[in-house]
Structure 1
């Protein structure tokens, strides 16, 4: 099976090379490739790999019967399966589907103290059980959050190397427009990525076949699996509400005012009844929440209204899979995004920001038409980010930059279908550059110092 190179690969190598490493917990939504990447790394780097999957083999939940010390757990694993080999310094113990048995996190402290074996845990719905895991293993673990493929990983999958990506960044940093061929190639690749999303199963199929054939079925199966997870892991009454919110995201994103309105989910629905549902979907890694700032100024943390937010899918492919049949057909056959154009590009840019490590914030002034899609920050500045579906002026962006009211804002960034440009303190980049924004800003900052 075609292996897709991922960013976690380099992280795992660095983790293994650290002589003082702690047990590692890899968390992220289901089916983003966690198990596959860990198993490949394990096979290439260890003489013995002990894999314990708490979903497939629930009997292993008994391994803590004699306590959480490493020696006791190893003894109990050996009792269940005497063929497992524990070789000091050459063994990786991989606890998979950690959400089924979060108690095992208590043992991480003892494995760190014991020091003879490397330990990696992984799980999909971890956000939900994470408070328990956190309290059981604080100070004795390293966390890594994994997402579906970002555009850079999608480019790697298509055979494009780091030099290709470095060249894109150079274009941004020097404000050199892309030539016609570059615009055409990158634009086509990015549109494919928008339609497919970054789920490994979908991307792999596309790379192997070279067509969209089967991609929709795979995406729809993922949606079905997510809904199954909601039924399985959401306790009690909330299931219907969570499913309702999940189903309503595409409809609300397609509107001009993309703010998520609970009142549209069900008649008489109120924020306080649904608050836990939004957090549940966020914790499960299914959605990205973009909160409305009280005022566009630093610091961002604590400076937002938790009752006003936009909801984006954590993977744009899931948004596409939930569109109606006609939109699907048009999208795949004609690559026409229709009424969902603005929603899709905004979703993809939001997703790129989250995958680069940003939290999402927007701003809408109550007493005017001033509205800004996203904000990111550097050490000293707040930067408004606009995602334009149509060509045209970014009025709100200009107001934020020129008005004396917003003293943390000095310039803005606009993502469009067009080429690189700069005027009136607004830097314009093609959509396909969004994944490079953090690196671009880091370069900008070092030049200004």
Structure 2
């Protein structure tokens, strides 16, 4: 039976993909937002789902709507939300909606402070390679998938579940909705300091995740994460638990497993750990060893995850979504490990609430140590939009404890740096950003 859904904050990365998928299923979709950026705007327009005007309008809400799907961007004083509440229309956050709609008996949820998207993408790649029918929700665009969300009546659901609150009405972490019987925790490193004021608060949300699992469920976890390992070994939780470490590789970068060598296209110890997590999940879904390694050989990675965007005889450029301290360190180490004898310049944009919080920035100490030269960029306008106090570039630079680092707070200087890299001694450039990087499109810059 087809239904009518209205999405408040339809322009979000996941939200607009939910809209696209529900429309593909034949449902009537409307939506609203106070700002819609690319690529959401073009994709919604192509499907005829772009709101006719930007902003909120309570007149959009009427009794013909079967349900409201509420994005995290919307606030609790939103006029459309208030009218929907007074009209008694069912209201769901998107993770709540996905969990309630799925009929899957095999539910996979990838959680953790880092590596969620990559691990989820690896699993999806293997399942698709072997023609499995499955539903999914992932936080990046992937080769071979035209959407980030697919909801049908499949018996397998694979989701990336993060620890951020679901909506203004539903402060539960998104990952708490999915109740998987196959779970992964990739690691725990304090993040989202605007929500979780202490590291213990942050760890507690993963305890809640584990306590929500059934006894017959299994959770795979990274044993090299000391805090996570202690929690999983010393504390009592309902599900079965199994640790993992990274795959071993030879000098060619091939995986060595059971005495055999298997080629892969990804690199970095963090990715080898993500791959081991994906391997265990796929085994739990019935995929045998040879089938897993056959499929993963041509996996290139998710968008903006160590994505190679330029390569010449003189310069190689990678872009990555890394923004938290643990992600930054793992990504820098991965690139330096691959190009040990080359001069590496790393640029990090501070864009998230946590990364712009003065009391949290010291967590980045020595995370870029393996870069020969480092730059940290932040946009003062991002601070104003988040209603946060100004940052002193000198303080930011000192916090990283790198001998050759510069903090930049204006796009003009950032452009000068990027231009200079075209001709200086940089041989490998790594740019890490979850923001707009001053509006520069790196794919056309080099």
| TM-score in terms of structure 2 length | 0.28
The structure with the largest alpha-carbon Rg is: 1
More helix by share: 1
| TM-score in terms of structure 1 length | 0.28
Structure with more contact order per residue of length (Cα contacts < 8 Å, sep ≥ 6): 1
